Amino acid sequence: MPPVTKTARRNLRVSPADDELFRRAAEQLNESVTEFLVESGRARAEMILADRTEFALDPQAWKAFNDALDCPVEVRSAVVELLRRPRPE
C-alpha cells in the first residue's frame, strides 16, 4: 500500500501533566508525540465505532439472537405511551 499523504490538521491544548504523560509514553515507544497521539486516537476511535456497528456471537448465541428477531412483535402500551410523549425541554 502506498504511503498516504497527510493533509488534515488538528490543533489541541492539553494540560502540562497530560503533555508530560504523552511525551513519556511516546518516548518509551520510540515514537514522536504526534505518532503516539494519532495511533492512540485511531485505536480508540476504531474500538468505539466497532462497538457500535459490529458484534460477534458464538453459534448458540447467534441462533438465540435470530430466534428472538423472528418472534412476533409484542406491542406494549407503556412503551407506545412513552414514545408518544413530547421530548423534555
Give the pLDDT band (50/70/90) at residue 56: confident
The per-residue pLDDT for 51 is 77
The C-alpha atoms of residue 73 and residue 89 are separated, in whole angstroms, by 31
Sign (positive/negative) of CA torsion 74, 76, 82, 83? positive
The per-residue pLDDT for 25 is 97
Q: Quick check: 41 pLDDT over 80?
A: yes
The C-alpha atoms of residue 57 and residue 66 are separated, in whole angstroms, by 11
Give the pLDDT band (50/70/90) at residue 37: very high
